[in-house]
Amino acid sequence: MRKTGEPVDDTRDSLMLRTRGLRKDYGRDAGLVRAVDHVDLDVFAGETVAIMGPSGCGKSTLLHLLGGLDRPSAGELWLAGQRIDGMSERGLAALRRDLVGFVFQAFHLMDELTAVENVELPLLLAGRAARPARRRAADLLDQVGLADRARHLPSQLSGGQRQRVAIARALANEPLVVLADEPTGNLDSAATLDVLRLLDDLHQHGQTIVVVTHDSRIAATADRLISMRDGAFVDDTRLTGGTGSLLGSMAGLADLEG
Amino acid sequence: MQQEVVLAMLAKEPAHGYQLRARLRQALGPVGEALNDGQIYVTLARLEKTGLLSAEQAAGQGDRSDRKVYSLTAAGQQRVADWLAEVSWPRPDLTEFHLKLVAAAAAGLADPLAIVDSQRRELLRRLRDAQRAAMAEPDGSEAGLLLEGMVLRLQADLRWLEACEQQWTGRRARS
């Protein structure tokens, strides 16, 4: 119970993801690899958290655990207050469909479906009627700037456009959290900027996002940066800034005074 | 060249002037060829005067600075520790940062990876600032072009930090 007059910690009530001692092992005995090694993570609602680290540090594995794509070897995992590490396969499938939005490096769109059909698929799977599903899918495509590409097949779209379709699809069921694995890994710099703007926009609208990335531009849009090495967190920092206060020093304008 | 660089080369153990030069040369490779010996000795003399290091004449060697043994004073140790912890990147000085990692590892004064991490935090703050500003500029704005230059430069710096991280992670694993 809170005493009156005590500062209120809003974030405590809005823990979106929480892990304690989360672990994932591959192989056994001498060949044992601890891909994720006792990770404790708290992600609060509305936060964008970037996880960076060298290839093979376990960051993608961690993301898969967080989204219920893979099961931990040990440890505890909560999504929005619900314990999910011991959930049935069926429960996990529903959770992935309804509560989590995934964005992958390789887009993972269905090649034989048009953009709008890709976006409406998770809505139909969640039991929405065809007409409202189509309407929502069209709105989402509009939101990512692809209203005029709705009837195109993925093969008729550029990489950046495909990723934007994938992001629209990830948002279809209004997920509690969006999990993105190297979302700009296959994109050129102009397309990266589009995805960046989109993620930043989602962030401004309060979407909780966890993104695993090599791309420092993505990491720089996050509230928090976690560095991972050998399956464990080695650094967890809040990134302040974004106020423009550092621009003068970068431009070397400070020297004009002297 | 920062005076602290010369101090840091003494953090592991006291050294003769020529040993100190050799340490710098080894850390810098061909980049260090431009180093002027006279400049180093001037720096050493200045550091001695300010009390950051002490010089002891080896017996029977005359007054040759080459043969003096230089060691850090307590104040010098403190200065090196402060320098290692300090994050500065308004002027990207790669050499200074590189030597920071080398000195930190050699003297066991700080974890090179921790230095990389704090540097990365600082750069990401700057990238965040530059990027936000760049995204807010309309297409084709002149300021946008300048901001893009800053973003690209910071990205390059961050990529280099990734390489630093990999190299020093590897060394730690081997040691």
Residues of chain A with pLDDT > 90: what percent? 66
- On whether residue A256 sits in a domain, the answer given is no
Q: β-strands A208-212, A48-52: how paired?
A: parallel
Q: How many CA atoms lie within 13 A of B38 on its CB side?
A: 0
Q: In whole angstroms, give the CA distance from residue A235 to residue A51.
A: 10
Query: In terms of Cα–Cα distance, which of B55, B56, B54, B52 is closest to B83?
Result: B52
- On whether residue A3 sits in a domain, the answer given is no
Determine whether the interchain pair A217/B151 forms a contact, defined as Cβ–Cβ distance below 8 Å: yes
Give yes or no for residue A8 having a pLDDT over 50. Answer: no
Confidence of residue B140 (pLDDT cuts 50, 70, 90): confident
Contacts of B147 in chain A (CB under 8 A): 247
- Better pLDDT: A8 or B85: B85
Give yes or no for residue B58 having a pLDDT over 80. Answer: no
Q: Average pLDDT, whole number, for chain A?
A: 88
* Residues contacting A9, CB < 8 A, separation 6+: none
Per the CB < 8 A criterion, the answer to whether B34 and B128 are in contact is no
The domain at B1-86+103-110 falls in which architecture? Orthogonal Bundle (1.10)
- On whether residue A246 sits in a domain, the answer given is no
Choose from B113, B120, B129, B162 for mutation: most chain A CBs within 10 A.
Answer: B129
Residues of chain A with pLDDT > 70: what percent? 89
A111-169 tens-digit pLDDT: 999 999 999 999 999 999 999 999 999 999 999 999 999 999 999 999 999 999 999 99
Q: In whole angstroms, give the CA distance from residue B50 to residue A233.
A: 42
Give yes or no for residue A257 having a pLDDT over 70. Answer: no
Q: Which of B91, B128, B169 minimises the CB distance to A220?
A: B128
Q: In whole angstroms, give the CA distance from residue A113 to residue A127.
A: 19
Amino acid at B165: E
pLDDT at B91: 59
pLDDT at B85: 85
Query: What are the backbone angles phi and psi of residue A15, rounded to the nearest 5°?
Result: -70, 120
- Better pLDDT: B64 or A33: A33
B67-118 tens-digit pLDDT: 789 999 999 999 999 888 887 665 557 888 999 999 998 888 889 988 998 8
Per the CB < 8 A criterion, the answer to whether A213 and B162 are in contact is no
pLDDT at A241: 59
Look-up of token digits 């964008």: A48
Give yes or no for residue B122 having a pLDDT over 90. Answer: no
Q: In whole angstroms, give the CA distance from residue B119 to residue A79.
A: 33
pLDDT at A4: 43
Q: Which of A8-17, B32-41, B150-159 has the lowest mean pLDDT?
A: A8-17
Q: What is the C-alpha R_g of chain A? A: 20
Q: β-strands B68-72, B15-16: how paired?
A: antiparallel
Give yes or no for residue A253 having a pLDDT over 80. Answer: no
- On whether residue A7 sits in a domain, the answer given is no
Residues A10-16, mean pLDDT to the nearest whole number? 67
Give yes or no for residue A80 having a pLDDT over 80. Answer: yes
- Better pLDDT: A214 or A44: A44
Choose from B128, B135, B142 for mutation: most chain A CBs within 10 A.
Answer: B128
Q: Which of A217, A241, A251 minimises the CB distance to B125?
A: A241
Dig out the tokens for A40 from the structure: 């404790």
CATH number of the domain enclosing A229: 3.40.50.300
Q: In whole angstroms, give the CA distance from residue B158 to residue A239.
A: 15
Q: Show the domain range for A32.
A: 13-239
Q: β-strands A74-79, A177-181: how paired?
A: unpaired
ipTM of the complex in this document:
0.72
Look-up of token digits 């979106």: A16
Residues A8-30, mean pLDDT to the nearest whole number? 81
pLDDT at A208: 96
Give yes or no for residue A71 having a pLDDT over 50. Answer: yes
Give yes or no for residue B46 having a pLDDT over 70. Answer: yes
Q: How many domains does chain A divide into?
A: 1
Q: β-strands A232-238, A208-212: how paired?
A: unpaired
pLDDT at A3: 42
How is chain B split into domains, by residue range?
A: 1-86+103-110, 111-175
Q: Which of residues 50-109 of B touch A (CB under 8 A)?
A: 90-91
- The secondary structure of chain B as a DSSP string is --HHHHHHTTSSS-EEHHHHHHHHHHHHGGGGGG--HHHHHHHHHHHHHTTSEEEEEPTT-TT-GGGEEEEE-HHHHHHHHHHHH----SS--HHHHHHHHHHHHHHTSS-HHHHHHHHHHHHHHHHHHHHHHHHHSPTT-HHHHHHHHHHHHHHHHHHHHHHHHHHHHHHHHH-
Min distance A240 CA to chain B CA atoms (Å): 6
Confidence of residue A205 (pLDDT cuts 50, 70, 90): very high
- On whether residue A6 sits in a domain, the answer given is no
Q: In whole angstroms, give the CA distance from residue A5 to residue B116.
A: 41
Residues A104-108, mean pLDDT to the nearest whole number? 91
